[in-house]
Amino acid sequence: MTRILYIIIIVSFLDTFIQLPIITPYAIDLGASHVLTGAIVAIYSFTNMIGNIFGGHWIDRYGRKKMLFLGMVAVSVILLFYPIVTSGWQLFIVRFIHGLAGGVLIPAAFAYVGDQSKQGSRGKVMALTGASIGTAAIAGPAIGGAMAARSKVEFVFILVAVLFAISSFLVAKFVKESFVSTEKGKFNFSQFSGLIKHPLVLQASLAAFALMISNGTLAFALPLKVGDMGLDSETTGILLSTYGIIALFVFLTPLNKMYDRFSPVSLVVTGIGFIGLVHILLNLTTTYWIMIGLMVIYGIGFALIFPSMNKIVTEASTKVDRGKAYGVFYAFFSLGAVTGSFASGLTSEIVGLPFLSSALTMVAIAIILAFIAKRTSN
């Protein structure tokens, strides 16, 4: 049953990764400006953030399985609208609804995995979830980029819709509920405020914010950078898949023992530092092989951050509030993607350096996390 959850995590993240190399050129082909294109990339994550917050409450109230199933069915239907849009604003509306429907999926899946994991082995379990995401990070951009290069963009959305429909069946057939609250109270923001103030949840959430600022920036800026170099969407897919391959190597080899040996906060800060360096250098290079090397470093940074921050959330929560904890966590995740792609669009228009805003943010958040860790340890 847990293995099925890993499959579901792959499909859920494939929904994001497969669109990374294609959504920016798809929006531009529909006549969207750079600013509208940045908004189209960002709006999914903005409404996803709303879905994360409300979904976190519903996950604890109605159960992990029910919300996971409903979210997957809804996304499967919404994906079928992508191929029929005819303007940038129509694409914006579809992305808006897509984000709302998808907001419940990842918090529900990770709350379930957290319920099933045990103290002392959570780092390795979260490494396996990271491997699931790494698989999506490798396959998604490569498939999306290759299909786009062959003028098959519409079929990308249909393919993912079919995968979601199959996953919905797997959830309904094989996944058993792990927790349903006996408390049937209405949605209350005060339940979330305590979690946000929790030092561990705050650290994990800031890490998620930083990581997705970097991903949002890549989603918007990397296809443009590749295009300026005279290369196509397939090249963007290769670059994005490179960091997924490196992360997957870390997740699935004995290197994954580090997640249970070292402080997750120290791993997160180190990973953010690596990614910040990558974004600084992406502004400066125009050489394909240097960009491949930077994606290798990015993959190491991603591998250090992702399992560590998920481990922090699991250990800071219980079954009673784990859905809400992951709702808060993934709301910051979504907020980072919104901020990253939109800020990247603005800096691209104003100063011509789309990776600058993310580089500065990485440095600032690494300093903040180190400060919080030092303060809470005293």
The two three-digit tokens of residue 171, written as one number: 């959830």
Q: What is the number of structural domains in the chain? A: 1
Helix (H, G, I), strand (E, B) or coil at 14: helix
Contact 356, 346 (CB under 8 A): no
What is the percent of the chain with per-residue pLDDT over 90, rounded to a whole number?
17
Q: Which is more confidently placed, 318 or 164?
A: 164
Task: For 364-378, give the DSSP string.
Answer: HHHHHHHHHHHHHH-
* Other beta carbons within 10 Å of 370: 16
**181 within a domain of the structure (yes/no):** no
Helix (H) or strand (E) holding 227: helix 199-228
CA dist., res. 279 & res. 358, Å (int): 7
Q: Which of 360, 313, 366 is nearest to 339 (CA)?
A: 360
User: pLDDT of 73-105, one tens digit each?
Assistant: 999 999 999 999 999 999 999 999 999 888 888
**200 within a domain of the structure (yes/no):** yes
**178 within a domain of the structure (yes/no):** no
Average predicted confidence (pLDDT) for the chain = 82
CATH number at residue 123: 1.20.1250.20
**217 within a domain of the structure (yes/no):** yes
Residue 63, sorted as left (phi over 0), alpha (psi -120 to 50) or beta, turns out to be left
**148 within a domain of the structure (yes/no):** yes
Tell me the residue range of the domain where 9 lies: 2-172+192-377
User: pLDDT of 329-354, one tens digit each?
Assistant: 888 877 887 777 677 777 777 777 77
The two three-digit tokens of residue 71, written as one number: 């979210």
